[in-house]
Structure 1
Amino acid sequence: MARSKEFEVNEVLDKAMKLFWEQGYEKTSMSDLVDHMGIHRRSIYDTFDDKHSLYLQAMDRYCGKVNVTLLGEVKASNTAAEALHKVFDFMINETEDMPSGCLIVNSAVELAARDTVVDARSIESFSVAEQMFEQIIVWGQRDGEISSEHNAKEMAEYLHNISVGIRAMARTSIDKQKLYRIVKVSLKLLE
């Protein structure tokens, strides 16, 4: 007779996600995962297959959480400019109890060059972010807040590139005011 799981899968996946986010894939050992997740090694293998599969599921979990949060920020905004400010504010600050930076940007930097699955997941996440930026830009162009001089897709690619840099810089001890200045200059280009 099969034993029932004595843990909630998303709860332990969140713990693994946070550990991978803090330490990266290579630095995180199975022993670290066992200690941090609070479950047995066998349970990790039974539930998530292996460390790589667990990492991919953590990436997916992260993307889902971030996308829901950003979509909520955009929908709660009254203007496209407000939406862009909220998106960048989230990227600079995220949440206090979470590691700084972005798990996807970290994954792309650490693994994408040698792991085709992580590369594909990173590119997919980047594409979703670019689509979000494009929708906001089109909204702003329609309402006259954002210049129609530039192609919305190209400006979305540009803003996404800025956001990746912001997320990477947020991992450092750099002054957040500098990040806000970078955002301010970038958004000024849309006027």
Structure 2
Amino acid sequence: MARPLAFNRDHALRRATRLFWARGYHATAMPALLDHMGIARSSFYASFGDKRHLFIECLDLFGRQTARYAEAPAVAPATDVIWSFFEATVRAAPDARLPYGCLLVNTTLELADSEPTLRARASAQLEGIEKRFAKAFEAAYAAGLLNTPLDADSLARYVMTVNQGLRVRSRQGETRETLWDILTTSLGLIGLTPPTQQYGDTPHAH
């Protein structure tokens, strides 16, 4: 009979995700991972395999969490999904984590040349969020809420590009207020203004 795990695997995975998020893949060494996760080396290899497989799990976890913020609010205009996403990931992000940027964006930049497979996995997560944006824009067009010659896919790519730029600026230490100003200016260029409803009860991102 297999021996039960002597630690909370989900808790350890979340802690590893935060460490990778803060430091990056290459700068996160095994001793730091083991210490931060609070597990022994033997337990690590038995449960996660190796650092690379752990990082894949962390990317997938982070991607699922981030995608949740791109879900349409109930009984709201379709484009509010865009604002609720940024409300959760910029305005409601904990102060300590805002400078981390986004693990997915960080990974696409850090591992572009050294780890193309991991980079592709992170890119796929971002593409999934972009597709949610596109669906929101398609619904907005159908409801007559948009007046722009750009199609839904082009608008979604634009918003994702804005998102990636914001994450880079946050890694550079930009203030939350400046990030929000950049966002509102950028989205204003395509006719999106912040909704009157504020998402004050949005849980902190990640």
Q: Could you tell me the TM-score, scaled by structure 1's length?
A: 0.90
Q: Distance in 2 between matches of 1:174 and 1:119?
A: 25
The aligned amino acid for 1:84 is I
Structure 1 residue 185 displacement after superposition: 2.0
Q: Distance in 2 between matches of 1:99 and 1:77?
A: 30
Task: Could you list the structure 1 runs, at least 4 aligned residues long, displaced by more than 4 angstroms after superposition.
Answer: none
Residue in 2 that maps onto 1:17: 17
Pairing 1:162-177 to 2, within 5 Å after superposition: 162-177=162-177
Residue in 1 that maps onto 2:182: 182
The 3-state SS of whatever aligns with 2:69 is helix
The 3-state SS of whatever aligns with 2:70 is helix
Structure 1 residue 98 displacement after superposition: 6.2
Q: Does residue 42 of structure 1 match 2:42?
A: yes
Q: Distance in 2 between matches of 1:26 and 1:110?
A: 9
CA contact (8 A) 2:104 2:123 kept: no
The aligned amino acid for 1:152 is A
Q: Percent of aligned pairs with the same residue? A: 29
CA RMSD of aligned residues (A): 1.8
The 3-state SS of whatever aligns with 1:170 is helix
Q: Distance in 2 between matches of 1:133 and 1:68?
A: 12
Structure 1 residue 18 displacement after superposition: 0.5
Q: Distance in 2 between matches of 1:145 and 1:53?
A: 44
CA displacement, residues 25-59 of structure 1 (integer Å, 9 cap, x when unaligned): 11111110111001101111111111111111111
Instruction: Evaluate the alpha carbon distance shift between residue 121 and residue 45 of structure 1 in structure 2; reply closer, same or farther with a 3 A threshold.
Output: same
Residue in 2 that maps onto 1:79: 77
Unaligned segments of structure 2, at least 5 residues: 192-206
Structure 1 residue 144 displacement after superposition: 2.2
Instruction: Evaluate the alpha carbon distance shift between residue 49 and residue 12 of structure 1 in structure 2; reply closer, same or farther with a 3 A threshold.
Output: same
Q: Distance in 2 between matches of 1:81 and 1:2?
A: 50
Residue in 1 that maps onto 2:200: none
Q: Could you tell me the TM-score, scaled by structure 2's length?
A: 0.84
Instruction: Evaluate the alpha carbon distance shift between residue 10 and residue 159 of structure 1 in structure 2; reply closer, same or farther with a 3 A threshold.
Output: same
- Equivalent pairs counted in the alignment come to 189
The 3-state SS of whatever aligns with 1:144 is coil
